[in-house]
Structure 1
Amino acid sequence: MKGLKFAAILLSLVFLIPVVAVTFFGGPIARSVVTSLNDRLQGEIRIERYEVAFWSTFPNLSVGLQHVEVAGSDGSELLAADRIDFLLDLGSLFGKIRVREVVVRDGQLQLLTDADGNTNYQLAGYTSVGERTAASDAPAEPTEFNIGEAIFQNVGVSYRDRQLNVDLAGRIDGLTFTGDFGTTNYLLSTDGSIFVDYLDQQGDRYVSRQQLIVTASTDIDNAVGVYTLAPLHLEVGDLELDVVGKLQPTKDGFQTDLRIDSESGSLADVIALIPPAYAGNLAELETRGELLLSATVRGPWTERAYPRIEGKLDFTDGRVGSPRVNVGVKDLDLRATFNYLDGPKGGVQTFSIDKLTGEFRRQPFSMTLLVEDTENPTVTFEADGAYALETLPALLGEGPITDGGGFLRAENIRITGKYKDMLTPRGMGRVRAEGRLRVDDAELTVRGRELNFPSGNLELLGNKMRLQQFAFSGPGTEITFTGEATNLIPVLFADSLNTNDAELIFDARLEGESLDLDELIALSGPTEAEEELAEAAGAVDSLRARTVSDRVRISDLLRGRFDARLEEWNYGEIEGKDFIGQLNFTPGRLGVAGVTVAMGGELRLDGDVFFTERLRVEGRVAGNRIDVKEFFEQGENFAQKVLTSDNLTGAMDAQLWIESAFDEAGEFDYGALRVLAHLTIIDGELHDFAMLENFAFALKSGDLERVRFTKLENYFEISDQTLYIPAMFIQSSALNMDLAGSHTFEQELDYAIKVNAGQAIANKLSRHDDELEVLPERQGWFNLYYTMKGPVETFAVEQDKRAVKAAFERSLLRRQRIERGLRSRFGG
């Protein structure tokens, strides 16, 4: 019985002593851990709260630190974590504090290396137990940093190495490090996964949004500073890579001696590791086939030097498809190699695609590529065979081209020269380019519009391109191009800012049955679906800005001339035929000069389109024997409702200077419209002109239906959304009058009118003239003066002699100014 009591007391003490120790000494233990860390780290560790537990980690002791901040050795923030848990040996309650495990949860780790190789994670070396000074406010037992495991869970990580120009950002989902961290030489085991948002080097993105599974055994030798991978196993998708070898940090970077091997995975996984700037939309491709990859990486890796890379990649019996299109490559064979070649001035890194063959819809193709000296590349590219245009949406990704058909056939294409020379028109003289491209029943769907290229040849002759009978048809358009151009390759390689001043210089003929300018302009704008998506996302302004930017960029690349002959053309409501003239392109500008049949007569055009942020159009239009009704009809009645195409007939001669612009949304900007015009209408008639009802006192009932005039001539101006009419004499079969005034686009009238009262009364008393003879021109002694002001629907007519005369005098100055403006632009 006494034995049982003794055992019970002993058992109680075994459990009670730890509880009492945790209760009374938990705080000192936690502070001891923090104090010891601060003593051994070059940066300071700060915590907000702590807790000590025993039962949940029995037979070990747990110290939990909450809201932890750890300063780096350079004073920057090294680590911020919601929680760090330390697992201690139970003996820490009675003596030395021994850390067995550290778990970092929900935080952000920031690793920095400056240009001199100094890091913010230069932690102090380990010291033997007892070689520390206790904190004055919290005496603590020595801490032994013999950590068995270090675990990171849900920790964001960023790494910036200014010495090697490396930037990395990602998230550690779960990563465990195991090793005897307290020794000079130990084996580090690593197991877990990391999600890499991006990995950039020298501004190029090498990894983007990839999940990496890491398993590694690394021999750490801190005495000589060598890391031996034995091996490092990486899994990226289905691709498995084994890396063995050594890494040794140096003053300027790393010394490398590594070997990389893989016998599993797909070509798509390899493409996923290519920098997105180079891979483009290849990352979306789906591949099947046999993959073999092996490579060695040896030599210094510094800011100015890269290690030697030698190896090969073989992909055989492959198939390549895309979720975007229902067509793929069959029987694909790819062999690529990396070589480091020694030369008189040192070694150069080379890359080559020695073989790339396959079939599109039973049509074979082949391609090779050699890049010598990746620092200053010399490129040799060769291609033969048929390339299916159905694959373009897959290669180009999201964009205006959504479908394709037919083939682009390459015949002995060969381009070789320095890459830097291919970027500039001046350097292209040193580049050799030859071969022929032929379109074969090609089709493309661009922004929802189907475009056809039934035939045509493009021949490369050095820096010259010769185009022969290149046919194009689209909605409302059927044309053919023939001519020559230079600088095609620099234009294709031009960046978004065209920093190398590349221009496609051309001289060609454009002939065709029809040309629909509205549809062609729409090809460079957003689709209805894109506009709807942008509106839903609140991104309409950015979509418009991108559209304008694309138009400006393309127009900046063009310099040349088309001699044009078109049987029919249209722009908006304006329709013409038999156009003969020239289209002259200069960067940011298109000049149009020619003659065409339109509106029942002849038009001579001489104007410019300026491709700026706000599209501008200005130029001269001279019309001869134009049908007035069609002129008003196709001009959409010039934004007014008083005098429309339903009211006028006759033949017109015209001289117009037009300045116009479109807003950021592509809509016509009436506020920017300015027109100077001289119009002469011969043998015209007015039909059912409602404004004449205001002069019913001087008109017979038949005169209100139809009025004839032999000649109506005057100058006009449009500015500030207002049509200005200088004083003019109107001689007609119903009434002779002098008129001046203005008419706003908001339909506000402000007219001044003088009527010969005697002639009006005589005309009212006479019988209606069915022949509509024009009344004789007379200046009477007795005249009536009227003003017409206000909105079209409710304007007021009042007699005001003084106001009418003042308006006529003002309008004379406007007429002289308009006449001078036209004379300076038309030359007489």
Structure 2
Amino acid sequence: MPRWARWVFRGVLVVFLFMIVAYVSLAWYINTHKEEVLVSVTSELNEGITGTIEIGDMNPTFLTGFPRVSLRLEKVVVKDSLYANHGKILLKAESLDIAVNAMALMRGTIEIKKIAIADAAITMYTDSLGYSNASVFKKGKKSKGGGGGSFPELRKLDLENVTFVIDNQKSGKLYNFAIDGLKGSIDYTSDGWDADIKLNTLVHSMAFNTRKGSFIKDQRVAGKFDISYKDTDSLIVIKKNPLEIGGEDFSVGGRFKTGSPQAKFAINIENKSILWRNAANLLSPNITGKLLMFDIKKPIAVKCDLIGDFNEKGDPLIRVNADVSDNILDTPGGAVDNCSFFGIFTNNHVKDNGFNDANSAIKLFGFKGDYSGIPIAMKKVYILNLEKPVAVGDFASTFKMEKLGSIIDTDLLKFSKGTADVKLDFSADIVDFRLSKPLVNGVVAIKDADVGYVPRKLDFKDISVALNFTKDDLFISKIILKSGKSTVNMDGSIKNFLNLYYSDPAKIVLTWNIHSPQLHLGEFMGFLGSRQRKAVPVKKARKGNMTEDLNLLFEKSNVDMKLRVDKLYYNRFFATDAKADILLTDNGVVVKNAGLKHAGGSLMINGMMLQQGKVNKYSLDAVISDVDINKFFYAFNNFGMETLKAEHLKGLVSSKASVTGSITDAGAMVPKSMYGTVTFGLRKGKLIDFDPVKNVGKFAFPFRDMKNIDFYNLNGKFDIKGEKVTIHPMKINSSVLNMDVEGVYSFGKGTEIYVDVPLRNPKKDKDITDKEELAKRRNRGIVLHLKAVDDEDGKVKVKLGGKKE
């Protein structure tokens, strides 16, 4: 070994031996002066506080704080001066290790450079009046190092198995950390200090507002903090560093203003890849519950800012930004694929309205995606006031009508072609995750669509329609509807449509103006029957909400139609210039002021139909004026009569009818179901080749022309009761004979008609114009009394025999 090396070795050995001797001397000194040292340490620590420090025992721990001397204090309790009032112990530790300056200790003074606390509980308590037990540290003397008292001189701070609680009753805040390990080193500067801290803790509570709950509750936080403090502005700055929170990797930084009366802070948290649900669960329950109305399947980038004042009541400012790209968004109304948007949550939507749920908002910008294959775009959407949520925004989409099959069940509406262009601005309440009381402005334009309304088996071709939404009203225009041979032009409106759509569809009334140059009623007979509603299969549950809403709308809403038809067809019936006011409800049809021209005359109708399944009840009041009776009977299929038919009749009939009856879903009259009263008048009437009359003629008037009988101003009244028609006494004046008729005609069995026939030939009196004279002559001579009844075969037979008085 070279000489210089030996000298260096010997020097190091001397220093080491000196330190061993010094440590042994200090150990001897501490052990022999234990009480004095304990009193000195206790006194020094009490110098920096306004309360008391109690130490149960003290022992030296060599090498732990080398080259300093370490002392282990056991059973340490720190209390503030008002402990007796509130009962909150500031510090209670099983052991507290302190590293002191050895030279100062030899001089009889204590300079603490490091504190290590283990198995302890620290509780910083502030009562409702603002007093804090942390005020125990407010007293202190200035030191050469620029700090105040003993604690600011610390160079090292270690915590192990320490519960740290900040309970602020005045501002309603509660922070509770179970610290498994904390290691910190502090370097003092001319204007403050810098610290490096490594932390591993379980957060039981970080509640800025105890009424709203805790952020990152029961989540583990682990990582490093680079902290600096400037005394000139009392500002603590935490540089951005990686930090693990709840198993997720975050970047966290912050700024904290110390002192009084303000203790402002700003915490910045960022994660470039985290699931929406995991991020939401790190916030307080009142916010988490709102954000979890939605879910985003793939990881997203989020940033969160918390800005507030530890001394103020209520929540801090909370602002969360989320950047979503090519993702899947799950909403209460279904999933949106290929979804992209920039989202913001804030609890301070209006700057001066405070930090609370009522002033909170979820904001989405540049929203794009596909909803069940339908492309949607929204420039901005806000969900405001999370106490009573309101959705505000815009909506645009252009798509093929066939795409609606993925959200509307094909057992309700079936779309086979056409396009839709949607541009809307909207505002709506959100109740139980559903829109309520919406206000909408905008247009839905549908072109060249083929639609099948399945419950009523109705098919419409080449539909074009414009739906104009103006706040809560709906205006429908430019509708061209084709079904078979029918063409219909329509426009209409619904007052308070969207509000009632979501709250009470039964109160919806569609005011509908309809004009058709040609309408075939048979193509719309599906409206007569009850809707054939089918249950939505479980596999279609995803689109069940839309289907069920529309089902309810079609079933419960009312339609008030103003109908105008140039040419109207129904089976054999043909009319022109038809008009009617029609009210369609969920259980029937009401017709008012219906009028039309038919068979050279006119008809006026008022009535209603009650839907009761396959057979429907109707009531009808009709006025017929100067209608060709031949065409009239032909059009209505002889009203179900088997004997008297259109080919037997000629003339102009006028009538008033008030009847009830039944009609099938297919629009056919149910036989023997009609009840009511019919009065009629026949001008220029003629009965042609009618068998019952010919049979009478063969028996009584073999030499008169019974095939062609002219009638003069025939008037009558019938009471209809099912299959039987009661004929009130009726005088029939004709070219071949006169008759007095009354009785019952039955569509089945039970016909019993009495006919009094004067045998005098009416031709003999054709030149007499005096009515009284004609009446006298009418029954001169022989009067034949006949009775028409049905036999066992159901055919009507005429017999001799008058009505018994």
- TM-score, normalising length: structure 2: 0.50
Corresponding residue number in structure 2 for 1:443: 450
Out of 521, 543, 554, which is 1:517 matched to? Answer: 521
Q: Deviations over 1:694-716 (max 9, x none)?
A: 32132336724322223321011
Match of 1:473 in 2: 482
Is the CA contact (8 Å cut-off) linking 1:299 and 1:306 kept in structure 2?
Answer: no
Deviations, residues 634-671 of structure 1 (Å, cap 9, x unaligned): 22212221111121121111111222344799875556
Cα contact 2:397–2:422 (8 A) shared by 1: yes
Amino acid at match of 2:513: R
Shift of 1:381: 4.4
Q: Which whole-Å CA distance do the structure 1 matches of 2:281 and 2:514 have between them?
A: 57
Do residues 786 (structure 1) and 798 (structure 2) align? Answer: no
- Matching residue of 1:686: 687
* SS of aligned partner of 2:278: strand
Summarize the Cα distance change of 1:436–1:735 in structure 2 as closer, same or farther, 3 Å threshold.
same
In the TM superposition, residue 793 of structure 1 has moved relative to its aligned partner by 4.1
The answer as to whether partners of 1:423 and 1:490 remain within 8 angstroms in 2 is: no
Assess, with a 3 A threshold, how the Cα gap between structure 1 residues 300 and 393 changes in structure 2: closer, same or farther.
same
Find the counterpart in structure 2 of residue 295 from structure 1: 278
SS of structure 1 residue aligned to 2:491: strand
> For the residues of structure 2 that align with 1:621 and 1:692, how far apart are their CA atoms?
29
Q: Distance in 2 between matches of 1:333 and 1:709?
A: 81
- Structure 1 CA distance for aligned equivalents of residues 246 and 721 of structure 2: 72
Structure 1 spans left out of the alignment, 5+ residues:
1-243, 248-253, 263-289, 321-328, 535-548, 764-773, 807-828
Alpha-carbon RMSD:
5.1
Tell me, what secondary structure is at the counterpart of 1:493?
Answer: helix
Contact 1:312 1:336 in 2 (8 A): no
Q: Is 1:382 aligned to 2:381, yes or no?
A: no
Go from structure 1 to structure 2 and tell me whether the alpha carbon gap of 1:297 and 1:662 turns closer, same or farther (over 3 Å shift).
Answer: farther
State how 1:486-565 maps to structure 2 within 5 Å.
Answer: 486-494=495-503, 498=505, 502-504=507-509, 506=511, 508-522=512-526, 554=554, 556-558=556-558, 560=560, 562-565=561-564
Q: Does 1:652 align with 2:653?
A: yes
**Distance 1:374-1:805 versus aligned 2 partners, 3 A rule:** farther
* Structure 1 match to 2:729: 727
Structure 2 distance, partners of 1:578, 1:300, is 69
Alignment correspondent of 1:576: 575
Q: Using a 3 Å threshold, how does the CA distance of structure 1 residues 600 and 717 change in structure 2: closer, same or farther?
A: same
Aligned counterpart, 1:130: none
Residue aligning to 2:425: 414
Match of 2:717 in 1: 715
Counterpart position of 1:737: 739
Contact 2:726 2:744 in 1 (8 A): yes
Work out the CA distance in 2 between the residues paired with 1:524 and 1:348.
Answer: 52
Is this contact kept in 1: 2:488–2:516, CA < 8 A?
yes
Q: Please give the alpha-carbon distance, in whole angstroms, between the structure 1 residues aligned to 2:779 and 2:410.
A: 72
The answer to whether the Cα contact below 8 Å between 2:633 and 2:639 also exists between their aligned partners in 1 is yes
Please state how far the C-alpha of 1:472 moved relative to its aligned partner: 1.8
TM-score, normalised on structure 1? 0.49
Q: Distance in 1 between matches of 2:671 and 2:552?
A: 22
Equivalent-residue separation in structure 1 for 2:429 and 2:566 (angstroms) = 45
Q: Residues of 1 paired with 2:373 and 2:347: CA distance?
A: 38
* In 2: Cα distance, 1:551 partner to 1:517 partner: 24
Equivalent AA in structure 1 for residue 679 of structure 2: H
Compared CA separation, residues 302 and 383, structure 1 to 2 (3 A) = closer
Is the CA contact (8 Å cut-off) linking 1:566 and 1:580 kept in structure 2?
Answer: yes
Show the counterpart of 2:377.
Answer: 366
CA offset at residue 292 of structure 1? 7.0
Inter-partner Cα distance in structure 2 for 1:470 and 1:494: 27
Equivalent pairs counted in the alignment come to 483
Relative to structure 1, is the Cα distance of residues 624 and 434 closer, same or farther in structure 2, using a 3 angstrom cutoff?
same
- Cα distance per residue 1:281-313 (max 9 Å; x no partner): xxxxxxxxx99765346499999x959748644
Q: Secondary structure at the match of 2:753?
A: strand
| TM-fit CA distance, 1:628 | 0.8
Residue of 749, 752, 755 corresponding to 1:753: 755
Structure 1 SS opposite 2:523: helix
Q: CA deviation at 1:686?
A: 1.8
Shift of 1:348: 9.0
1: CA distance, partners of 2:671 / 2:404: 40
- Quick one: structure 1 residues 569 and 504, their matched pair in 2 at CA, closer, same or farther if it must change by over 3 Å? same
Per-residue deviation, 1:478: 1.4
Q: Deviations over 1:15-71 (max 9, x none)?
A: xxxxxxxxxxxxxxxxxxxxxxxxxxxxxxxxxxxxxxxxxxxxxxxxxxxxxxxxx
CA distance in 2, matches of 1:660, 1:741: 22
- Distance change (3 Å), C-alpha of 1:600 and 1:555: farther
Shift of 1:732: 2.0
- Using the TM superposition, give the Cα deviation of residue 519 of structure 1 relative to its aligned residue in structure 2, in angstroms: 2.5
Give, in angstroms, the shift of residue 795 of structure 1: 3.9
Question: Aligned in 2, Cα 1:785/1:434: closer, same or farther, shift over 3 Å?
Answer: same
> What is the rounded CA distance, in whole Å, between the counterparts of 2:552 and 2:775 in structure 1?
56
The CA deviation at 1:409 is 0.9
Matched residue type, 2:507: A
Distance 1:331 1:372, change over 3 A: closer
1:117-142, Cα deviation, whole Å (9 max, x unpaired):
xxxxxxxxxxxxxxxxxxxxxxxxxx
Whether the aligned pair in 2 keeps the contact of 1:378 and 1:418 (CA below 8 Å) is yes
1:435: how far off?
A: 1.3
AA at the equivalent of 1:295? N
Matched position secondary structure for 2:751: strand
The one-letter code of the counterpart of 1:699 is: F
Structure 1 644/349 Cα, relative in aligned 2: closer, same or farther at 3 Å? farther
The within-5 A match list for 1:198-237 is none
Looking at structure 2, the residues matched to 568 and 674 of structure 1 have their Cα atoms a distance apart, in angstroms, of 30
Q: Is 1:593 matched with 2:587?
A: no
Of 690-699 and 452-461, the range deviating more from structure 2: 452-461
AA at the equivalent of 1:399: D
Instruction: Give, as a single letter, the amino acid of the residue that structure 2 aligns with 1:677.
Output: V
Q: Does 1:333 align with 2:339?
A: yes
Tell me which of 483, 494, 507 is aligned to 1:485: 494
Q: Tell me what 1:819 maps to.
A: none
> In the aligned structure 1, how far is the partner of 2:620 from the partner of 2:471?
38
SS in 2 for 1:396: coil
CA distance in 1, matches of 2:664, 2:362: 49
Deviations 1:436-471 (A, max 9, x none): 221222221333543135434222221233333322
Where in structure 2 are the equivalents of 1:178-327 lying within 5 Å?
Answer: 294-296=277-279, 298=281, 309=292, 312-313=296-297
Q: Structure 1 residues 421 and 296, CA, compared in 2 at 3 Å: closer, same or farther?
A: closer
CA displacement 1:510-541 (0-9 Å, x = unmatched): 222123333224167589xx89x99xxxxxxx
Distance 1:433 1:640, change over 3 A: same
1:438–1:585 CA distance, 2 compared to 1 (3 A): same
